[in-house]
Chains A and B, each alone.
Chain A
Amino acid sequence: MDLFTIVFYFLAIITLGAGAVVVFSRNIIHAAFALLFAFFGVAGLYVLLMADFIAITQLMIYVGGILVLVLFGVMLTSQVLDVQMKSGTIQTFPAVLVVSALAGTLVGIFWSTPWKTTAAAPMEVTAAKIGEMLLTSYLLPFEIASVVLLAALIGAALIARREKNA
């Protein structure tokens, strides 16, 4: 049992446990905070996979941006002290069947497939290389992504705006 294994299982438990809370909790606030831990766990997994830049990005955008957005959404759409906070579920039983089948299939395949792997490369700083790739081979998608972000920015502002005469 080396450190890597211990950390891996620690993060896996955090991620999956928090994910389970997100999915099964009836309290929307609990779910939102569990999501925070899930994101942290995933970020840790990224670090284990030597993707330090992605891990930082994960923290900045998911935790710093998306999660805050989700919390705002929760606050703005639910009467906090109301029963509404306890969000119900529907069709639970058929969903459990379908999802366990799916999970079984996925895990089975992931486990049993003899993946062709290469030896893990030594740890290196990825940010510089990613930046270079973004501006060379992935330049066009990168630019398009910026346009998509701009469109999303404007669109979100436009949609969320309270219309006077609506």
Chain B
Amino acid sequence: MSQETILQFSTAILLLPLFGFLVLIFFNKRLPRQGDWLGTGILFLCLLLSVIVLAGKLGSYHDEVLQYKFTWVDWGNVPGVGPLKLELGLMVDNLVAIMLVVVTIVSSLVHLFSIGYMHGDVRYGRYFAYLGVFTFSMLGIVVTNNFFMMYVSWELVGLSSYLLIGHWFEKKSASDAAKKAFVVNRIGDIGMFTGIMILFANFHTFTFDDIFAAMQSGAIPFGSEPWLTAAGILIFAGAVGKSAQFPLHVWLPDAMEGPTPVSALIHAATMVAAGVYLVARTFTMMTADALIVIAYIGAITAFISATIAIAQNDIKKVLAYSTISQLGYMVMGLGVGAFTAGFFHLTTHAMFKAGLFLGSGSVIHAMHHALHHAGDHHTDPQDIRFMGGLKSKMPITFWTFLMFTLAISGVPFTSGFLSKDEILAGTLAFSNLNGHPIIPIIGFLVAGLTAFYMFRIVILAFLGEHKDPHRIQEIHESPLTMTVPLMVFAALSFFAFYSFNPFGASSGWFYAAVPRPASVVPGTVAAPGVEAFDEALHHSHSLAMILSLAVAGIGILAAFGTYYWKKISADAIADRLKLLHGFLMNKWYFDELYEATAVNGTKGLAKAYAWFDNRVIDGVVNGVGSWTRALTLGTSRNWEEGSLGAVFYKSISAGLSLYIGWLVTSALMSPDPTFGQIVWNGVLGLATAGLTFFLFYVGVGGFDNKIVDGLVNAVAYLAGFFGLISRRLQTGKVQTYLVFVILGVMVFFLWFR
């Protein structure tokens, strides 16, 4: 398999979903089954190609970066900048190859799942079209080799997430959520844009390789290290928006208003992964300061959302906060320097989180139909308090869901255990090297909380007895299109796919494929190097494993104790800590805080602008308008006689007229004038001034009315006069005209004979 083949396959993987989108968006109504087979088939084809690409890349070109470049625009030698051209292209390294598989596997299974889940939807065909463009955008972020195309795809992801979250836009909450996701993402994107522009302004290229190579050779933005840090943090701001990191995480829970498979797609593979991927891609240019910021943002995000997840009752909301928390984990992992672990967690998390969402979709789907059958239209099918005892009714969903829960909780022999353990070890190593002990503490705490709230869902939804069994009598397992993806994801949550050693990922192929890249920033501001980090990592590994097992076990036990054996009363604790519970329940009041500050602040600013626009700008415009009117209509018709404006206008025009008269006089003067000349020129100047003042007085409009119109009217009068005469000759009879023609011809004959 040659390099060209791999690049061609990658191009095909990128473009096929776009093709599917174009066909489906225009022709979905004409295609049988509204074209769902087309979108799904294309994605499975992409998946096949991705697997081939990954195998080829790892098998034949393990350590090479395959690139395909072309010059899109060549501006030539731009003055003040030098040669400037825009190079675009594709790149396939191990990171890309793995991401391709992750994205296509999740997207294809989500497509398959949607066939069952979205059955009978009003915009079924359009939904599949949007899934296609979403996948295309995400793949665009992944395979590109430059910031330019990445930013374009980045915004396309924003757009397609808007379309999909707002798929059921008749619901106000859904359209609001779509808008919120779009706007909040935009805030992060501004930062990313600024960061990219800082890099472009300094390096005159968007290509990753060229930028990093320039940095390696010692060039840094504006020659100052703080600028480098700023560029890194600004680019990270884009990731903050897309990957729902604190403080821009508020859009993600609301995005649950979209269809559940879309949530799975957003949360596992396409949108939120983009941010983490961006950090991984630019990891090499991050300074130590930037990495600390990233690590702290990740830790704070992980902690806040894990605490919120405990107090939520909506199954999808819990999963949403769990996603944010896990994303925080990945970002924290990347921030502390555990590059491979962070990216590894992205991969494993994609599998089990997609599974969790699809599983919850299966549950919601079943609940919805059962409640509908029971004639109950008030109970929320997504509320875990109304579930329970679903284990026997939906065995496949239950067992796969349990598998995903074990994985996300970090129980051994799952993929989640491998990646989580590595991140925790990384945080320990980081704090050994740099201090900041709060980061590993948060890491372990969040691991425990995760195990707790995830088992809370499992216990409440699947185990125990339903409070009102007849209501779920009709509940049954979802169709095959929905359960097959669940089983595939469950299988992919086992450790064996990533490393044959269940207690250490570092011996697996993944670690070999994605080593931590060497930093390209100057040594003074770089984070501790790979060797020092690995050394520290080695020492903290066993400790991390024991601690993570312990906290996971405690979390699971606490969940069983509270919700299964009822040894601890959750309600009593909630009562005791009413304030805290309310605080968590209301998501730390982030929405309210933003409403009060950012939203109202913006509204206030808009009002201020409106005032400025109405009063100041309109005032200036109106002032100009009335002076122009005065010039055209003359004083008499613009202002009342004696008003301030009229006096003002008259005095200015009088002064101007005198000045023009003076100019005329002085221009006419010869160097040595006689007395007669002086008198004559003075009279001419005065006459000019008088004429000018008259023109000002009657205005341009007056001139137009009196003189120009007069001429025009005279011409019209003459034309009318001659018209009256010639009308006599116009009888309207063709014979008459023919006679005139004959006479004319005869005149010609006689004239020229």
A interface, CB within 8 angstroms of B:
90-91, 94-95, 98-99, 101-102, 105-106, 109
Contact = CB atoms under 8 A, between A and B. Distances in A.
A105 B742 CA distance: 11
Interface string B734-747: 01000100110110
A113 B742 CA distance: 20
Given A90-B735, A102-B742, 17 more contacts: A91-B735, A94-B739, A95-B735, A95-B739, A98-B739, A98-B742, A98-B743, A99-B742, A101-B746, A102-B745, A102-B746, A105-B746, A105-B749, A105-B750, A106-B749, A109-B749, A109-B753
Interface of B: 735, 739, 742-743, 745-746, 749-750, 753
A23 to B, nearest CB: 14
B446 to A, nearest CB: 81
Tell me the dominant secondary structure on chain A's binding face. Answer: helix
B733 to A, nearest CB: 9
Contacts of B753: 109
Interface centre among A94, A99, A105, A106 (most CB of B within 10 A): A105
A95 B749 CA distance: 19
A9 B200 CA distance: 99
Nearest to A101: B746
Nearest to B743: A98
Closest 5 pairs (CB-CB, A-B): A105-B746, A102-B742, A105-B749, A98-B739, A109-B749
A106 B749 CA distance: 8
Contacts of B746: 101-102, 105
A107 to B, nearest CB: 11
A110 B739 CA distance: 21
A87 B750 CA distance: 35
Interface centre among A91, A98, A99, A101 (most CB of B within 10 A): A98
A63 to B, nearest CB: 27
A102 B743 CA distance: 8
Contacts of B750: 105
Contacts of A99: 742
Contacts of A91: 735
A118 to B, nearest CB: 23
17 contacts: A90-B735, A91-B735, A94-B739, A95-B735, A95-B739, A98-B739, A98-B742, A98-B743, A99-B742, A101-B746, A102-B742, A102-B746, A105-B746, A105-B749, A106-B749, A109-B749, A109-B753
Contacts of B742: 98-99, 102
Contacts of A90: 735
B738 to A, nearest CB: 9
Contacts of A105: 746, 749-750
Contacts of B743: 98
Contacts of B749: 105-106, 109
A90 B731 CA distance: 15
A76 B624 CA distance: 74
Nearest to B742: A102
Nearest to A99: B742
A87 to B, nearest CB: 15
A91 B736 CA distance: 10
A50 B121 CA distance: 85
A94 B743 CA distance: 13
